[in-house]
Structure 1
């Protein structure tokens, strides 16, 4: 059995100058690389924690949509916060983008360089036709 692997990308997909693909689709699973607060050209956009969180999630949304999925089809997230003082606000913001039943989730704090407040990666499934 042959499993198709593709690298979905369209004009709305945020670019990176680093050596990784924004997303890889294997069958009906989509693996999205870590998304941070970058603009459409891949330039880092420093902001408050909330601003970086929202920009990261919007980048994630764009990548998922280009791959035939969306935030409602996310089954797992991995989240990285520079400062654990933002955990309470992080949980509030997270609920704006994801609702019950929530995706499986891992959150790691005190792990990012000073240039970033937040980063997210995920696994999602393709929307059913």
Structure 2
């Protein structure tokens, strides 16, 4: 069922204009802007804020290796959008679903184009991370 929802979401997101959700380059730019300060520019967990965190940021290039060679796409999406409640540096990791919603001034508005853009950005980040697995 989850796989079906992901496939439908990918299809819907690829149909709409704007940045293509399938573009790992978009995800790379988002990673540099939002994630590199903790996870490092190379996503190996060595960002400049890591020294200030009580729980160190993980190496994101080994997600597949730590999951028996399979990239955990849905889990990564849930961590990025905040559904897992993952905690880091003494508090929750920023949940980028709400950050991206707030950037549009659409948080909780029900505006479907903003919701689709937010989901596309989250998917772009997840696809970028998939592209850098070692």
TM-score normalised over the length of structure 2: 0.24
TM-score normalised over the length of structure 1: 0.25
Greater helix fraction, Structure 1 or Structure 2: 2
Greater strand fraction, Structure 1 or Structure 2: 1
